[in-house]
Structure 1
């Protein structure tokens, strides 16, 4: 605690306090005809002075404003109240005022108060030697203090973690402002920062134009930098954030965010821009372009058209491949930016959608042109169950894919089907399904026998039938339900259903795993279909506790009779026995969750793919992590073995203190650390302190390795101080 105290005191000297905001609520005017309602243990009337004296559990009510005290003198002529002893004044706003002596008038709206304490609606507090109330709208306090921190129950006289002391504090409820004159910020009772004038919104404010808390730091790439955001609230539904980012080594960056809400939806835009040098090409000998315009733009929108239809858009674009990685002020957006405009409808069990897709690949090593999908229409129709329990389905898709260089395709796909389940008297669950898929393609600039051809037409019709049988065995013991379920399926379709002219746009990556082993079509997308005949078999087993704990496992394989047109296939959709796939999930209680998914080679049980995710331990000591291993055989040697682990160890030491460590490593022979991190956090009802360390070992052209150290102080209702260092 002493170390944290010293660090907090040091950083608080840089505090930047400013406003946030909402529309002021107009307080109710005094009603001259409204009379006080008084109740007490003893009430005495003085007709000469036209006064009422009340003692013992006195309650004076003026509309929504209520005064509680030990004794009260009420002058009817002056409409004034003098109260003393254990005073509590309940305000319509939710504030509660405590005092020992008050002189009030105008229906308890105005007057003077001695030894005042105020509890605000968010549990923050004022305390002052004295105060003057004006029309129930403004409270002027002298020798006052403000803090949102809770009072120590064991030692109420101990100073809170932080507080603001001032010669004068004015709480203007109409303007929703709190203003300080000659103010000191104190941490643990020690003055650390002085300002002659300070103002911030009161707790009723949600949003208001003004400067937000800045962030300062240093980087080996940018040198020192400062982010200085300005928030502009134009209306209740429109606002904007303008954030200049000034660096020591490079030209400034301007970031913008715009938000607007409508009755039926919302839009959000964000972006940034700068004029700076850009590196490209080889890492060891890059090409440097000087004074280039660089930036990014993101946009999102969503609108409800009616109770069944909605429309929207998502847009993401960067000026170049490395901008978002180099200027990492804006987050991590992955390797591909997707843009989409859509309209979609929901009608019972029917889903309809129209989409336009565009992509920007940010991978430096990928030189293929991303397609523009303009447009794509989908409809998925499913009927209610008929008298036999079966359901009809119809899936429709139209997609047009365009490129400046490469194949342009138009596809129409229709797939109709019928599925019906049966449950025998002895518990065998059988599902029989049939379907017919018909696809038509029109293509330009497509390769046929090694030559680029235009106006190419191709099509196919694929009938398919499948039967799946499950036979669950269930046994209940004390507190545990045991389930063993063998599953068998037979799936049949004609061979030779994939014309070589059809380019594979949405069926490129095919991976057999536990999630698609029993699928009628194991290939994603529609450009390629799963043909031929196969048998699938597996076993499910599980233990399920009555209080929610469970352990479940699955192991299965398929046997394919024909490999059709899959020469050189590396996806495990070839003839003969497939590799084994399975999963194991162990979740005995809320403190342990383990999931392991695997694929084993059919001939020697070698691990070809393994995925593990784990979360173990209570908040006081919790480990979460992921591990992925992919053998080179899964890509027929196109890629080497890949193995990576990501782990995070955290500990909630106390109600307020927590620490954490994280790491991400490439475990292959040529690998190494990718990222290390550490953090320590303190957070209570009024204050947050966070110190973070991050070492990023990844680099590429225009993007260097980084070491980042940051410290953040957050003062509830005031703002925050952030310091960040990058090396």
Structure 2
């Protein structure tokens, strides 16, 4: 069954169970056989019979009396009966065998299996225990909820009417329990229909501190025992720059046990109404979900009718294979922003199948279609990948402890204008770790690559290669490395232990040259850091090979504190025999000697962590990359800060980026907490984003307000991406529902 949203509701499940407890105790109705009394109290109460819950009833009391003249059974003194996990308690219980009327009086209590407890002054059951009259109802329900009513009546075994109902999930004031709770719902009549699974109210109001603020002459919602039910959900109100004042009203449709839909209409003062919808369905072997909308948008560059569809699905085919899809398209980014469907810059549509064989094997085949929503993204250069495949297999360790891995990949890529590429590639890898007599660790690695394909239109898209390279191409490469590490460990006594670990790796293979005559589809986004210092091929894909002979070296040090904290750092670089023309200027690997890379982590105590990594120019020591974060936990508050410096990345970004961020949360007391966050662009000398929030939460009430301000990016690179402001208010009455107001 789908775990679906449903209309907000009160938790009156215990009331239904209370009015049904006659079925729990005495299955004998008015038509029961008359005659001599049973020979035991168990017979008096019908113990051992099966009621509505299809289970035996157990019963205890201080005394049981049977009046043969009146044909009445009376149990007194700590009467307790239970069936399964449901328990009924009362001071006195009587059952008239002639009329079929059962009465429980004095401290009547029903304890439900989930812990809910309801109390009543008096309960009378008639008509074969199907009808009931209840006086003085009080209940302690799930989620700290409390309910009270002057009385109630159940008719036909299905409909229960409660008079003068009060409901709240707030705790009463410990100093003055007579004071009204923070909020409570009052209704003249509440009707529970177990057949329709609905709860209906008449003359209902929500009071705050005893003062009525919200009133409805009539409303209804699904019964708590209905797992899912159709109905209207809470509306969303707000105001935005594009829509003006707006209201979104969603309707939830529970189609069946495995599918549902939500239909929403958003009406605004400045735009025509927008129609949105979502559909979900769960199968035995998978699930699908669709979301879409259609509407009009005036006052932007994307004037006119627009819409979107976001969808995904996943299916298990057998124990090894699964398949899925995602269809995501939109008329424009402005449309998504204006109608509050998010603001992605790229949408991806795909269909795939993938297989898993433990930790040894994996295979996948898929297709990819991208939609760039930024004006800076050229639609003609956006690729369409059909198909793409990948598979790998890891063989068991050999007798020496080495491991052999092989993979294969292929794709066919098309563009409306630019490079079309078809490529197939394979890589075989072998790795053998050994430990020397002195504790030194030797690792022998080698991998061999083979790549072949066909390329068209290379002259039309210089980013992906140079002119004159159309047609078939094929090439291969092999890299072999010997990696040596020697960890030195010494005790620092009561201050913990220290580690110094030098590491040297020698990598060799044939030189590759500039490789510009080959297309580059998967190796554009390259960044040299400590994370790939010892990689055999430091490019992330297969379209660019690193060649030649080089040596990588690094020194790692660590101080491990007795309390579990540590100070750890690493610094290293690479030196090659000849310049590798593959790497672009500014990459850090364009010369024979690379830039310096390193990282440091300081976490001396559980409440403080400093983490940073960087890359320094090999000659001047100027920072080309700095990425640092600091996090401080101080009991009721936490504080974090960050600094980022990156130089222009070849083929990816055109400007230097330098910014810092600062944020934190602070818990003022048990109920209040506030949060602040900001990001500032040092290069542009202006803020990027700021956010402030304040939240109050107790056992029954949530209030949240949030302010978010974002500034436009550099207009030379993101001309269509505008800044904005969001102001959000949210009020939540726990166990009833949330109400929100937002402004953009």
Work out whether the TM-score is over 0.5.
yes
Q: Does 1:354 align with 2:365?
A: yes
Q: Does 1:273 align with 2:302?
A: no
Q: Contact 1:258 / 1:268 at 8 angstroms: preserved in 2?
A: yes
Q: Report the counterpart of residue 310 of structure 1 in structure 2.
A: 322
User: Can you list the C-alpha shifts for 1:673-712, whole angstroms capped at 9, x where unaligned?
Assistant: 2222221112233322111222232277666543332212
Q: Contact 2:160 / 2:192 at 8 angstroms: preserved in 1?
A: yes
- 2:733 maps to which of 683, 708, 715: 715
Q: Does 1:229 align with 2:245?
A: no
What is the CA–CA distance in structure 1 between the aligned matches of 2:694 and 2:680, rounded to whole Å? 22
Q: Does 1:570 align with 2:586?
A: yes
- 2:179 maps to which of 155, 158, 164: 158
User: Can you list the C-alpha shifts for 1:139-167, whole angstroms capped at 9, x where unaligned?
Assistant: 32212211233444554333222111122
Q: Does 1:56 align with 2:66?
A: no
Q: Report the counterpart of residue 498 of structure 2 in structure 1.
A: 482
Q: CA deviation at 1:574?
A: 2.5
Q: Contact 2:88 / 2:111 at 8 angstroms: preserved in 1?
A: yes
Q: Report the counterpart of residue 412 of structure 2 in structure 1.
A: 400
What is the CA–CA distance in structure 1 between the aligned matches of 2:308 and 2:79, rounded to whole Å? 65
Q: Does 1:382 align with 2:400?
A: no
SS of aligned partner of 1:196:
strand
Deviating more after overlay: 208-217 vs 563-572: 563-572
Deviating more after overlay: 491-500 vs 506-515: 491-500
Q: Report the counterpart of residue 643 of structure 2 in structure 1.
A: 627
Structure 1 pair 465–92 and aligned structure 2 pair: CA distance change class (3 A): closer
What is the CA–CA distance in structure 2 between the aligned matches of 1:361 and 1:172, rounded to whole Å? 52
Q: 5+ residue gaps in structure 1?
A: 1-16, 281-288
Q: Report the counterpart of residue 104 of structure 1 in structure 2.
A: 125
Q: Does 1:539 align with 2:555?
A: yes
TM-score, structure 1 as length reference:
0.88
Q: Contact 2:203 / 2:216 at 8 angstroms: preserved in 1?
A: yes
Q: Does 1:35 align with 2:49?
A: no
User: Can you list the C-alpha shifts for 1:508-537, whole angstroms capped at 9, x where unaligned?
Assistant: 122100111111110111111111111111
What is the CA–CA distance in structure 1 between the aligned matches of 2:255 and 2:131, rounded to whole Å? 34
Q: Report the counterpart of residue 38 of structure 2 in structure 1.
A: none
Q: Report the counterpart of residue 7 of structure 1 in structure 2.
A: none
Aligned residues: 696
Q: Report the counterpart of residue 374 of structure 2 in structure 1.
A: 363
Q: Report the counterpart of residue 609 of structure 2 in structure 1.
A: 593
What is the CA–CA distance in structure 1 between the aligned matches of 2:572 and 2:157, rounded to whole Å? 74
Q: Report the counterpart of residue 8 of structure 1 in structure 2.
A: none
What is the CA–CA distance in structure 2 between the aligned matches of 1:47 and 1:683, rounded to whole Å? 60
Q: CA deviation at 1:451?
A: 8.2
Q: CA deviation at 1:342?
A: 1.2
Q: Report the counterpart of residue 724 of structure 1 in structure 2.
A: 742
- 2:700 maps to which of 686, 696, 702: 686
SS of aligned partner of 1:724:
strand
Q: Contact 1:212 / 1:719 at 8 angstroms: preserved in 2?
A: no
Q: Contact 1:540 / 1:553 at 8 angstroms: preserved in 2?
A: yes
Matches within 5 A, 1:501-650: 501-545=517-561, 548-566=564-582, 568-618=584-634, 620-631=636-647, 639-650=654-665
What is the CA–CA distance in structure 1 between the aligned matches of 2:339 and 2:691, rounded to whole Å? 17
Q: Contact 2:514 / 2:582 at 8 angstroms: preserved in 1?
A: no
Structure 1 pair 642–489 and aligned structure 2 pair: CA distance change class (3 A): same
Q: Report the counterpart of residue 486 of structure 2 in structure 1.
A: 471
TM-score, structure 2 as length reference:
0.86
Q: 5+ residue gaps in structure 2?
A: 1-5, 33-44, 48-57
Structure 1 pair 256–617 and aligned structure 2 pair: CA distance change class (3 A): same
Structure 1 pair 277–53 and aligned structure 2 pair: CA distance change class (3 A): closer
Q: Contact 1:619 / 1:650 at 8 angstroms: preserved in 2?
A: no
User: Can you list the C-alpha shifts for 1:39-81, whole angstroms capped at 9, x where unaligned?
Assistant: 1233334333333433332213467653212333343444443
Q: Contact 1:35 / 1:62 at 8 angstroms: preserved in 2?
A: no
Q: Report the counterpart of residue 40 of structure 2 in structure 1.
A: none
What is the CA–CA distance in structure 2 between the aligned matches of 1:299 and 1:127, rounded to whole Å? 46
Q: Contact 2:92 / 2:105 at 8 angstroms: preserved in 1?
A: yes
Q: Report the counterpart of residue 446 of structure 1 in structure 2.
A: 458
Q: Contact 1:321 / 1:364 at 8 angstroms: preserved in 2?
A: no
Q: CA deviation at 1:429?
A: 1.0
Q: Contact 1:458 / 1:499 at 8 angstroms: preserved in 2?
A: no
What is the CA–CA distance in structure 2 between the aligned matches of 1:323 and 1:590, rounded to whole Å? 46
User: Can you list the C-alpha shifts for 1:281-331, whole angstroms capped at 9, x where unaligned?
Assistant: xxxxxxxx75x2222221111111112111111232221354334x26112
Q: CA deviation at 1:411?
A: 1.0
What is the CA–CA distance in structure 2 between the aligned matches of 1:711 and 1:319, rounded to whole Å? 30
SS of aligned partner of 1:324:
helix
Q: Contact 1:62 / 1:107 at 8 angstroms: preserved in 2?
A: no
Q: Contact 1:60 / 1:68 at 8 angstroms: preserved in 2?
A: yes
Q: CA deviation at 1:454?
A: 8.0
Deviating more after overlay: 713-722 vs 370-379: 713-722
SS of aligned partner of 1:234:
strand
User: Can you list the C-alpha shifts for 1:621-667, whole angstroms capped at 9, x where unaligned?
Assistant: 222343311135x6599733311233322112233222112222212
Structure 1 pair 107–594 and aligned structure 2 pair: CA distance change class (3 A): farther
Q: CA deviation at 1:499?
A: 3.8
Q: Report the counterpart of residue 340 of structure 2 in structure 1.
A: 329
Deviating more after overlay: 118-127 vs 232-241: 118-127
Structure 1 pair 165–320 and aligned structure 2 pair: CA distance change class (3 A): closer
What is the CA–CA distance in structure 2 between the aligned matches of 1:145 and 1:124, rounded to whole Å? 11
- 1:698 maps to which of 683, 687, 712: 712
Q: CA deviation at 1:95?
A: 4.4
Q: Contact 2:477 / 2:510 at 8 angstroms: preserved in 1?
A: yes
Q: Contact 1:686 / 1:716 at 8 angstroms: preserved in 2?
A: yes
What is the CA–CA distance in structure 2 between the aligned matches of 1:259 and 1:475, rounded to whole Å? 60
Q: Contact 1:21 / 1:206 at 8 angstroms: preserved in 2?
A: no
SS of aligned partner of 1:617:
strand
- 2:189 maps to which of 153, 168, 171: 168
Q: CA deviation at 1:421?
A: 0.6
Q: Contact 1:86 / 1:98 at 8 angstroms: preserved in 2?
A: yes
Q: Report the counterpart of residue 319 of structure 1 in structure 2.
A: 331
What is the CA–CA distance in structure 1 between the aligned matches of 2:398 and 2:21, rounded to whole Å? 63
Q: Report the counterpart of residue 438 of structure 2 in structure 1.
A: 426
What is the CA–CA distance in structure 2 between the aligned matches of 1:479 and 1:344, rounded to whole Å? 51
Q: Contact 1:131 / 1:142 at 8 angstroms: preserved in 2?
A: yes
- 1:216 maps to which of 237, 241, 266: 237
Q: Contact 1:149 / 1:162 at 8 angstroms: preserved in 2?
A: yes
Q: CA deviation at 1:465?
A: 0.5
SS of aligned partner of 1:685:
coil
Q: Report the counterpart of residue 659 of structure 1 in structure 2.
A: 674
What is the CA–CA distance in structure 1 between the aligned matches of 2:213 and 2:466, rounded to whole Å? 77
Q: Report the counterpart of residue 673 of structure 1 in structure 2.
A: 687
Structure 1 pair 589–57 and aligned structure 2 pair: CA distance change class (3 A): farther
What is the CA–CA distance in structure 2 between the aligned matches of 1:138 and 1:627, rounded to whole Å? 64
Deviating more after overlay: 637-646 vs 121-130: 637-646
Q: CA deviation at 1:375?
A: 1.0
SS of aligned partner of 1:126:
strand
SS of aligned partner of 2:336:
helix
